[in-house]
Amino acid sequence: MSKYNSLVPKYVQIADSLREKVDEMYKDGQEKFSSDDELIKMFDVSRMTIRQAVQVLVEEGLLKRVQGKGTFIVRKEKLKTDIAKLDTFFRGWYLENFTVQLLYRGCVPCPQGLEDKLGVEPGEEVYQVKRLRLSEGIPIVIDNRYLLKKYGEEITDEEYVKYSFSHLFLNKFKMALTEGEIEIEAVLANQEIAHILGIAEGAPILYRSVDLKVKNGCVLTGASSYRGDMYKYKSLLSLD
């Protein structure tokens, strides 16, 4: 970095650059961060300035200092969801530090292959909802759902980012979900998914398709794309 804004302390500007470096190294699976000597040469500043910049990231929980060994990237435990039952499955929507962004909502022709699931005619309009879930500001999951138009239009933007579909069907429409079918496979991220999740195109993701049903049939179908390096599932097996 050859030029610095004279109105902002150098260590603050360097800390901004180091966050990007940490993110890149984290995605590459690296654990040990650059040494102070390497950073001094890279940014052409004093040791004190580098130590101040690194300390900012240490206080943010992105880096940790280990005496005699160096500086390391803090790797967070993968988020996990229990998929044994519908009630535990939907708790994944309310994990601590999760926030939700509404990417899209609107009427679309029912995608081919989903007509029978939702009980509509080919080409009939259904409602599409695409949401992005983030953990501590990091994009983790893209949820892409299709539901009957009459339900999708009644849900507000605020409700879409605040509640799971289980909550909305039960509390808004007085319809209890009775059954769910889930299929999970490992796939590679396409360009759109990679861009939204902030990962490399072709990176491994967990692709989870889901159908949710009430007594009268399927009311929701779609799929979710999870960052493979940040998420895992758990299910208990029993002989009973």
One digit per residue, the tens of pLDDT, for the chain of length 240 reads 446 777 788 888 898 899 888 888 877 778 899 999 999 999 999 999 999 999 988 887 788 898 888 998 886 655 555 555 555 555 555 555 678 999 999 999 999 999 999 999 999 999 999 999 988 778 889 999 999 999 999 999 999 999 888 889 888 999 887 888 888 898 999 999 999 988 888 888 889 888 888 887 888 999 999 888 776 666 655 555
pTM of the model: 0.63
Tokens in use for 184? 């999970």
Contact indicator for 70, 28 with CB cutoff of 8 Å? no
Residue 19 phi, psi dihedral angles, 5° rounding? -60, -40
User: Given this model, what pLDDT does residue 181 score?
Assistant: 82
Of 9, 232, 76, 47, residue with least CA distance to 141: 232
User: Given this model, what pLDDT does residue 46 score?
Assistant: 93
φ/ψ region of 136 (left if φ > 0, alpha if ψ in -120 to 50, else beta) reads left
User: Given this model, what pLDDT does residue 190 score?
Assistant: 93
The CB density around residue 225, as the number of other CB atoms within 10 Å, is: 23
Tokens in use for 118? 């939702």
User: Given this model, what pLDDT does residue 36 score?
Assistant: 94
The C-alpha atoms of residue 127 and residue 110 are separated, in whole angstroms, by 8
The C-alpha atoms of residue 231 and residue 126 are separated, in whole angstroms, by 30
User: Given this model, what pLDDT does residue 239 score?
Assistant: 57
